[in-house]
């Protein structure tokens, strides 16, 4: 996967449309977390430094194709301006005469923030005329919103049909590079850690990664369907009965491929996932009927840490337990700490895994933290992302 990068395009005096992900949390009209704004700054700052006339576009929330003041990007403009360290102009739409006038008034190095793209239903429908209208605003298109790269929307895919050059921003470029390093041409052994609640949501990922990896660690509630497939009783925990044949297929495939597959050997049990205390620690073969297991046990945590030790590349998607409850965060934290200490290339993807790493204060010790939950998962499934494939080849 080799795409044109923003630093390979002449930007001086050009109108440069940068699609970012400013879908940030708001409280009473104020941005409460600037992480996504900060993530987009390197590309925007580069374009400004090169003398581009910068047009920044994003979605915010789910306005469902209607103008909704609570989802207006006007609320994001002050925080964006502050983080960028320069004035950001704002226009109350993303297409139309008012927007064209605002774009035409830009000087070299100026920055304009457009209103929420999803105020127009044609955005999510990838409407051709809407995409053409967005494209008419610019000379160069840059996508730096990996979180929406799996969506074939007008601002992520359609617009590229009407622009001569479509490039990846620094954020998107990093995602492509780390994907190539971790899956296309990994340093081995390659280990993948997969967690979460349900096998059904990760089955495609499991089957795809079995063909790629050397070590597979499975945690979270999805592990119970694996244990049930092995003939064990799983107490009051989540079971996807209809997935048992699929799970058997995954285990058989791992065996044939020589993939080392690790499952929990013990669990922490409690009366409910909301409990404020641990009832007991039991082996995976002794799960009691009246209790649930919201986290892997200490022996499993130690096993998983040892399993990851020889890895030279580690990809993690999905927590080991109900980490939001501090009483059941130990297993997830153990994996995070093991990855933080590892000299391997470490890549974290998926909302919950990223939250867990951030919560543990270990994000700075990882090689790469993906900015796209759904997009990252689809890459792991081996799918082609419309927002990536639409860009000009490098």
For the stretch 116-146, pLDDT in tens is: 999 999 999 999 999 999 999 999 999 999 9
Q: What is the spatial distance between Cα 106 and Cα 357, in angstroms, rounded to a whole number?
A: 40
DSSP state of 369: E
Query: Catalytic residue at 118?
Result: no
Q: How confident is the model at residue 379 (pLDDT cuts 50, 70, 90)?
A: confident
The pair of structure tokens assigned to 279 is: 């009832």
pLDDT of residue 1: 65
Judge residue 21's burial from the number of C-beta atoms within 10 Å of its C-beta, 0-12 exposed, 13-18 middle, 19 or more buried.
Answer: buried
- pLDDT tens track for 92-113: 999 999 999 999 999 999 999 9
Instruction: Indicate whether 74 pLDDT > 70.
Output: yes
- pLDDT tens track for 304-325: 999 999 999 999 999 999 999 9
- Which ranges in 116-160 belong to alpha helices (H)? 121-124, 128-135
Query: Catalytic residue at 349?
Result: no
pLDDT of residue 223: 97
Q: How confident is the model at residue 373 (pLDDT cuts 50, 70, 90)?
A: confident
Instruction: Indicate whether 154 pLDDT > 90.
Output: yes
Q: Mean pLDDT over residues 176-184, rounded? A: 87
pLDDT of residue 277: 84
Q: What is the spatial distance between Cα 90 and Cα 112, in angstroms, rounded to a whole number?
A: 6
> Out of 65, 109, 127, 374, which one is annotated catalytic?
374
DSSP for 286-336, please give it: ---TT-EEEEE-HHHHHHHHHHHTT-SEEEEES-SS-TTSGGG-HHHHHHH
Name the percent of the chain lying above pLDDT 70.
100
Instruction: Indicate whether 384 pLDDT > 90.
Output: no
pLDDT of residue 158: 98
Instruction: Indicate whether 147 pLDDT > 90.
Output: no
What's the mean per-residue pLDDT of the chain? 95
Residues 298 and 317 sit within 8 Å (Cβ to Cβ): no
Q: What is the spatial distance between Cα 89 and Cα 79, in angstroms, rounded to a whole number?
A: 12
**125 CA to centre of own chain:** 22
Query: Catalytic residue at 36?
Result: yes
Q: In this structure, are strands 266-270 and 292-296 parallel, antiparallel, or unpaired? A: antiparallel
> Out of 198, 312, 337, 355, which one is annotated catalytic?
198
Instruction: Indicate whether 264 pLDDT > 70.
Output: yes
Peptide bond into 243 cis (omega under 30): no
Q: How confident is the model at residue 15 (pLDDT cuts 50, 70, 90)?
A: very high
HEC sequence for 187-236: CCCEEEEECCCCCCCCHHHHHHHHCCCCEEEECCCCHHHHHHHCCCCCCC
pLDDT of residue 394: 79
Instruction: Indicate whether 383 pLDDT > 80.
Output: yes
Least confident of 79-83, 254-258, 386-390: 386-390
- pLDDT tens track for 86-95: 999 999 999 9
Name the percent of the chain lying above pLDDT 90.
86
Q: How confident is the model at residue 351 (pLDDT cuts 50, 70, 90)?
A: confident
Q: What is the spatial distance between Cα 99 and Cα 203, in angstroms, rounded to a whole number?
A: 45
Q: Where are the beta strands (DSSP E) in the chain?
A: 15-19, 26-27, 30-31, 53-57, 89-90, 111-113, 140-143, 165-168, 190-194, 215-218, 260-262, 266-270, 280-283, 292-296, 313-317, 345-348, 368-369
Q: 298, 235, 288: which is closest to 264 by C-alpha?
A: 298
Looking at per-residue pLDDT, the higher value among 336 and 377 belongs to 336
Q: What share of residues in the chain are helix, strand, coil (percent, to 5)? A: 40, 15, 40
- pLDDT tens track for 323-348: 999 999 999 999 999 999 999 999 99
> Out of 65, 236, 351, 382, which one is annotated catalytic?
351
Q: What is the spatial distance between Cα 47 and Cα 106, in angstroms, rounded to a whole number?
A: 13
- Which pTM value belongs to this model? 0.88
Instruction: Indicate whether 367 pLDDT > 90.
Output: yes
pLDDT of residue 93: 98
CB atoms within 10 A of CB 263: 20
Q: Which domains does the chain have, with CATH numbers?
A: 6-170 (3.40.50.1260), 178-380 (3.40.50.1260)
pLDDT of residue 183: 87
> Out of 3, 36, 53, 151, which one is annotated catalytic?
36
């Amino acid at each position: 996967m080799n795409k044109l990068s923003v630093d390979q395009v002449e930007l001086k005096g050009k109108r440069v449309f940068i699609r970012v992900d400013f879908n940030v949390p708001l409280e009473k009209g104020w941005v409460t977390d600037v992480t996504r704004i900060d993530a987009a700054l390197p590309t925007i700052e580069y374009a400004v430094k090169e003398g581009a006339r910068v047009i920044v576009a994003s979605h915010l929330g789910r306005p469902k194709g209607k103008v909704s003041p609570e989802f207006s990007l006007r609320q994001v403009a002050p925080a964006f301006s502050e983080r960028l360290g320069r004035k950001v102009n704002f226009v109350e739409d993303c297409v139309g005469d008012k927007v064209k006038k605002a774009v035409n008034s830009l000087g070299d190095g100026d920055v304009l923030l457009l209103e929420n793209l999803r105020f127009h239903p044609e955005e999510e429908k990838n409407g051709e005329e809407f995409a053409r209208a967005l494209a008419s605003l610019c000379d160069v298109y840059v996508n730096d919103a990996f979180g929406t790269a799996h969506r074939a929307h007008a601002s992520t895919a359609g617009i590229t049909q009407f622009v001569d050059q479509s490039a990846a921003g620094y954020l998107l470029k990093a995602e492509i590079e780390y994907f190539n390093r971790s899956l296309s041409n990994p340093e081995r052994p390659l280990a993948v850690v997969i967690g979460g609640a349900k096998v059904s949501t990760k089955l495609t990922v499991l089957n795809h990664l079995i063909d790629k990896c050397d070590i597979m660690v499975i945690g979270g509630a999805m592990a119970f369907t694996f244990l049930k497939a092995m003939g064990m009783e799983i107490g009051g925990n989540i079971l996807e009965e209809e997935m048992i044949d699929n799970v058997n297929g995954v285990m058989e495939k791992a065996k044939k491929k020589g993939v080392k597959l690790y499952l929990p050997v013990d669990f922490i049990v409690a009366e409910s996932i909301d409990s404020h205390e641990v009832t007991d620690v039991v082996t995976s073969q002794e799960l009691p009927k009246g209790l649930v297991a919201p986290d892997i046990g200490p022996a499993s945590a130690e096993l998983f840490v040892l399993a990851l030790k020889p890895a030279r590349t580690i990809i993690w998607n999905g927590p080991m337990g109900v980490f939001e409850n501090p009483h059941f965060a130990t297993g997830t934290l153990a994996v995070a700490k093991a990855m933080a200490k590892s000299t391997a290339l470490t890549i974290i993807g998926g909302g919950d895994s990223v939250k867990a790493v951030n919560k543990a204060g270990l994000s700075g010790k990882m090689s790469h933290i993906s900015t796209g939950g759904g997009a990252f998962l689809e890459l792991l499934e081996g799918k082609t992302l419309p927002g990536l494939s639409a860009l000009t080849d490098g």
